[in-house]
Amino acid sequence: MRIEEQKKADRSEGEEHIVLRDHLAAHRTDLANDRTLLAYIRTALTFAVVGLTFIRFFGNPIMEIIGWVFIPVGIYIFVKGLLRFRQIRNAIREEEKNPPRISDL
């Protein structure tokens, strides 16, 4: 009788370990999503600063036009990154609420 109880205890410990592992994997995914958003923001700011630099410090009209192109591209990258971040965050939250069953995999 004790051996069966020990097997049940071992199984329940293993299930808790799987739940913890899955929780940590979801947390890593969430952190990766945050890092990706920060990369989008960094890229958008770089484009905007380069655009402002071309407009402000170069007297050449072609460089000024290039600068005016860079600024909207930076804004587009920022908005695209923000929308992607929210989409992935919502998908992660939905996955945490309704995890897939083993039969679905």
Cα distances from 71 to residues 42, 47, 63, in angstroms, run 14, 6, 13
Please give the Cα distance from 56 to 83 (Å, whole number). 30
pLDDT band for position 18 (cuts 50, 70, 90): low
pTM of the model: 0.72
The single-letter code of the amino acid at 35 is R
Lowest-pLDDT choice from 1-15, 35-49, 83-97 = 1-15
- Per domain, the residue ranges of the chain are 2-104
End-to-end CA distance of the chain: 35
pLDDT of 57 over the 60 cut: yes
> What pLDDT was estimated at residue 93?
86
> What pLDDT was estimated at residue 16?
47
Mean model confidence pLDDT for the chain: 82
